[in-house]
Homo-oligomer: A and B are copies of this chain.
Amino acid sequence: MRKLERGSGEPLWKQLQEDLVRRLRSGEFDDAFPGELALVEEYEVSRHTVRQALGQLRTDGLIVAERGRQPRVATAPEIRQPMGALYSLFSSVEESGLPQHSVVRALDLRADGVVAARLNLEGSIPLLYLERLRYAGDEPLALDRVWLPASLAEPLLDADFTHTSLYNELAERTGINLDHGREDIRAMNPNPAERALLHCPADAAVFSIIRQGTAQNRPVEWRHTVVRGDRFALSAEYSANAGYRLTPATTALAQAW
Protein backbone atom coordinates (compact mmCIF):
# COMPACT_ATOMS: atom_id res chain seq x y z
CA MET A 1 0.00 0.00 0.00
CA ARG A 2 1.70 3.14 -1.22
CA LYS A 3 0.96 6.72 -0.34
CA LEU A 4 0.40 9.60 -2.70
CA GLU A 5 0.30 13.17 -1.50
CA ARG A 6 -3.16 14.49 -1.90
CA GLY A 7 -3.62 18.19 -2.37
CA SER A 8 0.05 18.84 -2.95
CA GLY A 9 -0.42 20.69 -6.19
CA GLU A 10 0.78 17.73 -8.21
CA PRO A 11 -2.12 15.79 -9.67
CA LEU A 12 -2.55 12.31 -8.30
CA TRP A 13 -2.35 10.70 -11.71
CA LYS A 14 0.94 12.42 -12.36
CA GLN A 15 2.43 11.27 -9.09
CA LEU A 16 1.20 7.78 -9.85
CA GLN A 17 2.62 7.89 -13.33
CA GLU A 18 6.02 9.03 -12.12
CA ASP A 19 6.12 6.39 -9.43
CA LEU A 20 5.25 3.72 -11.97
CA VAL A 21 7.96 4.91 -14.32
CA ARG A 22 10.44 4.76 -11.49
CA ARG A 23 9.44 1.24 -10.51
CA LEU A 24 9.38 0.24 -14.13
CA ARG A 25 12.90 1.42 -14.75
CA SER A 26 14.06 -0.40 -11.65
CA GLY A 27 12.96 -3.60 -13.34
CA GLU A 28 10.32 -4.36 -10.75
CA PHE A 29 7.71 -5.10 -13.43
CA ASP A 30 9.81 -7.16 -15.77
CA ASP A 31 7.83 -10.28 -14.95
CA ALA A 32 4.33 -8.88 -14.80
CA PHE A 33 2.82 -5.45 -14.77
CA PRO A 34 0.07 -4.96 -12.19
CA GLY A 35 -3.49 -4.64 -13.45
CA GLU A 36 -5.60 -1.56 -13.04
CA LEU A 37 -7.56 -2.97 -10.14
CA ALA A 38 -4.39 -3.95 -8.32
CA LEU A 39 -3.11 -0.39 -8.64
CA VAL A 40 -6.44 0.94 -7.43
CA GLU A 41 -5.99 -1.07 -4.24
CA GLU A 42 -2.31 -0.41 -3.87
CA TYR A 43 -2.47 3.36 -4.21
CA GLU A 44 -6.03 3.84 -2.98
CA VAL A 45 -7.16 5.94 -5.90
CA SER A 46 -10.02 5.49 -8.29
CA ARG A 47 -9.73 3.44 -11.42
CA HIS A 48 -10.24 6.61 -13.40
CA THR A 49 -7.06 8.07 -11.96
CA VAL A 50 -5.16 4.87 -12.59
CA ARG A 51 -6.31 4.82 -16.18
CA GLN A 52 -5.22 8.41 -16.67
CA ALA A 53 -1.74 7.53 -15.48
CA LEU A 54 -1.59 4.37 -17.55
CA GLY A 55 -2.87 6.20 -20.59
CA GLN A 56 0.14 8.46 -20.40
CA LEU A 57 2.48 5.50 -20.09
CA ARG A 58 0.81 3.91 -23.04
CA THR A 59 1.15 6.86 -25.36
CA ASP A 60 4.77 7.06 -24.29
CA GLY A 61 5.13 3.48 -25.43
CA LEU A 62 6.28 2.11 -22.10
CA ILE A 63 3.49 -0.38 -21.68
CA VAL A 64 0.98 -2.04 -23.93
CA ALA A 65 -2.53 -2.97 -22.87
CA GLU A 66 -5.26 -4.97 -24.47
CA ARG A 67 -8.71 -5.97 -23.54
CA GLY A 68 -9.01 -8.89 -21.22
CA ARG A 69 -5.34 -9.17 -20.39
CA GLN A 70 -3.10 -7.40 -18.01
CA PRO A 71 -0.92 -4.56 -19.27
CA ARG A 72 2.60 -5.63 -20.07
CA VAL A 73 5.87 -3.83 -20.20
CA ALA A 74 6.50 -2.94 -23.81
CA THR A 75 9.29 -4.88 -25.38
CA ALA A 76 11.64 -2.61 -27.26
CA PRO A 77 9.72 -2.36 -30.52
CA GLU A 78 12.23 -3.81 -32.87
CA ILE A 79 12.77 -2.09 -36.14
CA ARG A 80 11.69 -4.40 -38.87
CA GLN A 81 13.25 -2.54 -41.70
CA PRO A 82 16.03 -0.41 -40.30
CA MET A 83 15.32 3.09 -41.38
CA GLY A 84 17.71 5.56 -42.78
CA ALA A 85 19.34 6.22 -46.06
CA LEU A 86 19.76 2.59 -47.03
CA TYR A 87 16.18 1.72 -46.37
CA SER A 88 15.20 4.81 -48.26
CA LEU A 89 17.37 3.61 -51.10
CA PHE A 90 15.93 0.17 -51.58
CA SER A 91 12.32 0.98 -50.87
CA SER A 92 12.46 3.78 -53.38
CA VAL A 93 13.78 1.39 -55.98
CA GLU A 94 10.92 -0.92 -55.19
CA GLU A 95 8.41 1.87 -55.64
CA SER A 96 9.92 2.81 -58.93
CA GLY A 97 8.98 -0.62 -60.20
CA LEU A 98 12.46 -1.52 -61.32
CA PRO A 99 13.38 -5.13 -60.57
CA GLN A 100 16.06 -5.51 -57.93
CA HIS A 101 18.58 -8.25 -57.54
CA SER A 102 22.02 -8.69 -56.10
CA VAL A 103 25.19 -10.39 -57.25
CA VAL A 104 26.96 -11.89 -54.27
CA ARG A 105 30.66 -11.28 -54.73
CA ALA A 106 31.77 -12.65 -51.38
CA LEU A 107 30.22 -14.47 -48.45
CA ASP A 108 32.73 -15.95 -46.05
CA LEU A 109 34.34 -15.75 -42.66
CA ARG A 110 37.43 -13.67 -42.19
CA ALA A 111 39.21 -11.59 -39.61
CA ASP A 112 39.74 -7.89 -40.09
CA GLY A 113 41.29 -5.92 -37.28
CA VAL A 114 40.19 -2.54 -38.54
CA VAL A 115 36.55 -3.44 -38.97
CA ALA A 116 36.52 -5.41 -35.73
CA ALA A 117 37.66 -2.29 -33.95
CA ARG A 118 34.72 -0.38 -35.43
CA LEU A 119 32.44 -3.03 -33.99
CA ASN A 120 34.17 -2.70 -30.64
CA LEU A 121 35.49 -6.23 -30.92
CA GLU A 122 38.93 -7.70 -30.67
CA GLY A 123 40.89 -7.72 -33.85
CA SER A 124 41.22 -11.46 -34.08
CA ILE A 125 37.53 -12.22 -33.80
CA PRO A 126 36.16 -13.81 -36.97
CA LEU A 127 33.65 -11.82 -38.95
CA LEU A 128 31.12 -12.79 -41.55
CA TYR A 129 31.76 -10.74 -44.65
CA LEU A 130 29.14 -10.18 -47.31
CA GLU A 131 29.79 -8.20 -50.43
CA ARG A 132 27.05 -7.62 -52.93
CA LEU A 133 26.57 -5.60 -56.06
CA ARG A 134 23.00 -4.44 -56.06
CA TYR A 135 21.15 -3.88 -59.29
CA ALA A 136 18.09 -1.84 -60.03
CA GLY A 137 16.98 -2.89 -63.44
CA ASP A 138 19.90 -3.92 -65.60
CA GLU A 139 22.30 -1.37 -64.22
CA PRO A 140 24.24 -1.54 -60.96
CA LEU A 141 23.05 0.81 -58.27
CA ALA A 142 25.17 0.17 -55.22
CA LEU A 143 28.09 -1.77 -53.89
CA ASP A 144 27.32 -3.08 -50.45
CA ARG A 145 29.84 -4.49 -47.99
CA VAL A 146 28.81 -5.76 -44.58
CA TRP A 147 30.73 -7.23 -41.69
CA LEU A 148 28.96 -8.99 -38.85
CA PRO A 149 30.37 -10.83 -35.85
CA ALA A 150 30.61 -14.48 -36.85
CA SER A 151 29.40 -15.54 -33.44
CA LEU A 152 26.04 -14.03 -34.25
CA ALA A 153 25.84 -14.27 -37.98
CA GLU A 154 27.30 -17.67 -38.78
CA PRO A 155 23.87 -19.17 -39.58
CA LEU A 156 23.80 -16.80 -42.56
CA LEU A 157 26.73 -18.46 -44.29
CA ASP A 158 24.61 -20.61 -46.57
CA ALA A 159 21.85 -18.06 -47.17
CA ASP A 160 21.00 -16.91 -50.65
CA PHE A 161 21.31 -13.15 -50.77
CA THR A 162 20.53 -12.61 -54.42
CA HIS A 163 16.98 -11.58 -53.67
CA THR A 164 16.39 -11.43 -49.92
CA SER A 165 17.44 -8.73 -47.55
CA LEU A 166 20.13 -9.14 -44.95
CA TYR A 167 17.84 -8.05 -42.16
CA ASN A 168 15.19 -10.57 -43.10
CA GLU A 169 17.68 -13.42 -43.04
CA LEU A 170 19.20 -12.18 -39.83
CA ALA A 171 15.82 -12.02 -38.13
CA GLU A 172 14.67 -15.39 -39.41
CA ARG A 173 17.83 -17.36 -38.79
CA THR A 174 19.09 -15.78 -35.58
CA GLY A 175 16.18 -13.81 -34.14
CA ILE A 176 18.26 -10.65 -34.09
CA ASN A 177 16.57 -7.39 -34.93
CA LEU A 178 18.45 -4.15 -35.03
CA ASP A 179 17.09 -1.55 -32.67
CA HIS A 180 19.61 1.22 -33.10
CA GLY A 181 21.88 2.50 -35.77
CA ARG A 182 24.05 5.30 -36.93
CA GLU A 183 24.92 6.47 -40.39
CA ASP A 184 27.54 8.71 -41.89
CA ILE A 185 26.81 9.85 -45.40
CA ARG A 186 29.49 11.38 -47.55
CA ALA A 187 29.71 12.63 -51.08
CA MET A 188 32.84 11.50 -52.88
CA ASN A 189 34.20 10.08 -56.04
CA PRO A 190 34.50 6.32 -56.30
CA ASN A 191 37.86 4.69 -56.66
CA PRO A 192 38.57 3.12 -60.05
CA ALA A 193 37.55 -0.36 -58.96
CA GLU A 194 34.22 0.85 -57.60
CA ARG A 195 33.63 3.00 -60.64
CA ALA A 196 34.16 0.04 -62.91
CA LEU A 197 31.96 -2.27 -60.90
CA LEU A 198 29.15 0.24 -60.72
CA HIS A 199 29.42 1.27 -64.38
CA CYS A 200 29.65 4.82 -63.14
CA PRO A 201 29.74 7.53 -65.78
CA ALA A 202 33.04 9.37 -65.73
CA ASP A 203 31.70 12.51 -64.09
CA ALA A 204 29.36 10.89 -61.57
CA ALA A 205 29.96 11.07 -57.85
CA VAL A 206 28.72 8.60 -55.25
CA PHE A 207 27.24 8.51 -51.81
CA SER A 208 29.39 6.67 -49.35
CA ILE A 209 27.27 5.45 -46.49
CA ILE A 210 28.78 3.97 -43.37
CA ARG A 211 26.33 2.32 -41.08
CA GLN A 212 26.82 0.83 -37.67
CA GLY A 213 23.91 -1.19 -36.36
CA THR A 214 23.34 -2.53 -32.89
CA ALA A 215 20.80 -4.79 -31.23
CA GLN A 216 20.36 -4.48 -27.51
CA ASN A 217 23.53 -2.47 -27.21
CA ARG A 218 25.63 -5.13 -28.90
CA PRO A 219 27.27 -4.23 -32.20
CA VAL A 220 25.80 -6.29 -34.99
CA GLU A 221 26.89 -4.83 -38.28
CA TRP A 222 29.37 -2.49 -39.83
CA ARG A 223 28.42 -1.61 -43.32
CA HIS A 224 29.88 0.39 -46.12
CA THR A 225 27.67 1.06 -49.09
CA VAL A 226 28.65 3.00 -52.16
CA VAL A 227 25.65 4.29 -54.12
CA ARG A 228 25.76 5.82 -57.55
CA GLY A 229 25.02 9.51 -57.27
CA ASP A 230 23.61 9.72 -60.76
CA ARG A 231 20.88 7.24 -59.96
CA PHE A 232 19.91 8.15 -56.46
CA ALA A 233 18.96 11.16 -54.36
CA LEU A 234 18.12 11.41 -50.73
CA SER A 235 14.78 13.01 -50.20
CA ALA A 236 13.65 14.38 -46.91
CA GLU A 237 10.82 16.36 -45.50
CA TYR A 238 10.61 18.26 -42.29
CA SER A 239 7.78 19.99 -40.57
CA ALA A 240 7.08 21.51 -37.24
CA ASN A 241 4.96 18.55 -36.30
CA ALA A 242 6.71 15.52 -37.67
CA GLY A 243 10.34 16.61 -37.50
CA TYR A 244 12.80 15.41 -40.09
CA ARG A 245 11.91 12.35 -42.09
CA LEU A 246 13.43 10.68 -45.07
CA THR A 247 10.80 10.17 -47.70
CA PRO A 248 11.72 7.08 -49.64
CA ALA A 249 8.73 7.66 -51.83
CA THR A 250 9.60 10.40 -54.21
CA THR A 251 12.08 11.40 -56.79
CA ALA A 252 14.50 8.81 -55.66
CA LEU A 253 15.83 7.51 -58.93
CA ALA A 254 17.67 10.03 -60.91
CA GLN A 255 15.85 12.46 -63.09
CA ALA A 256 16.39 16.09 -63.79
CA TRP A 257 14.77 18.51 -61.42
Whether A121 sits at the interface, judged by CB under 8 Å, is no
The interface residues of chain B lying within 8 Å CB-to-CB of A229 are 186-188, 205
Whether A82 sits at the interface, judged by CB under 8 Å, is yes
Whether A44 sits at the interface, judged by CB under 8 Å, is no
Whether A97 sits at the interface, judged by CB under 8 Å, is no
A184 near B234 (CB under 8 angstroms)? yes
B241 near A244 (CB under 8 angstroms)? no
Question: Could you say which of B84, B207, B233 contacts A236, with CB atoms under 8 Å apart?
Answer: B84
Q: How far, in Å, is A61 (CB) from chain B's closest CB? A: 6
Chain B residue at smallest Cβ distance from A55 = B55
Question: Could you say which of B78, B118, B185, B245 contacts A240, with CB atoms under 8 Å apart?
Answer: B78
> Measuring CB to CB, which residues of chain A are less than 8 angstroms from any residue of chain B?
55, 59, 61, 76-79, 82-85, 118, 179-189, 203-207, 210, 227, 229-230, 233-241, 243-247, 251, 257
Question: Could you say which of B59, B83, B205, B207 contacts A244, with CB atoms under 8 Å apart?
Answer: B83
A243 near B245 (CB under 8 angstroms)? yes
Q: How far, in Å, is A53 (CB) from chain B's closest CB? A: 13
B236 near A185 (CB under 8 angstroms)? yes
Question: Given the complex of chains A and B, what is the CA–CA distance between A188 and B257 in angstroms?
Answer: 14
**Can you report 27 A-B residue pairs in the complex whose CB atoms are below 8 A from each other?**
A55-B55, A79-B238, A79-B239, A79-B240, A83-B238, A83-B244, A84-B244, A179-B240, A181-B238, A183-B237, A183-B238, A184-B257, A185-B234, A186-B233, A186-B234, A187-B187, A187-B206, A187-B207, A187-B229, A188-B229, A189-B204, A205-B206, A210-B257, A243-B245, A244-B244, A244-B245, A244-B246
